[in-house]
Amino acid sequence: MGLTKADIFSKEQNRLAMLLKALAHPARIAILQRIMISNTCICGDLVGELGLAQATISQHLKELKSIGIIKGSIEGTSVCYCIDPDTWKVLESTLQDFLANYKGETICCQ
């Protein structure tokens, strides 16, 4: 079918999967790193730096924005994007919880 059977998984599982999916692209990782490091961001900068077309970067920004990881505000003729602190906190804690389930090496699978 090609459609994820979201209904058979928990809200938390689906939410985490969606957040991770939004992060799971090198361009979006690079974009986020750039935003975090500069502590502010204008799309135009990225176009020059990343080596992707303007339309492509705009699309990646849209994806990050639609899931709430970043938010943008119009700043004159350009747009200023930055991390959304609330979603970031959710991401951090959800990931922490998920990773914490691992209790270390087991006896099986030697």
Partner DNA sequence: ATAATCAATCGTAATATTGCAATATACAAT
Partner DNA sequence: ATTGTATATTGCAATATTACGATTGATTAT
Backbone angles phi, psi at 10, to 5 degrees: -75, 160
Structure-token pair, residue 38 = 């500069």
Using CB under 8 A, pick the residue from 2, 3, 20, 76 that binds a copy of itself. 20
Contacts (CB under 8 A) with a copy of itself, residues 30-89: 30, 32-33, 36-37, 39-40, 50-52, 71-73, 75, 80-83, 85, 88
Contact between 23 and DNA (CB under 7 A)? no
CB of 21 to DNA, least distance (A): 6
Backbone angles phi, psi at 75, to 5 degrees: -135, 85
The nearer residue to DNA, 36 or 53, going by C-beta atoms, is 53
**C-alpha angle with apex 60: 18 to 63, nearest 5 degrees?**
35
Q: Sign of torsion, CA 61 68 36 12?
A: negative
| CB-CB contact of 78 with 42 (8 Å) | yes
Which residues of the chain form contacts with a copy of itself (CB under 8 A)? 4-6, 8-10, 13-14, 16-18, 20-21, 23-30, 32-33, 36-37, 39-40, 50-52, 71-73, 75, 80-83, 85, 88, 91-92, 95, 98-99, 101-106, 108-110
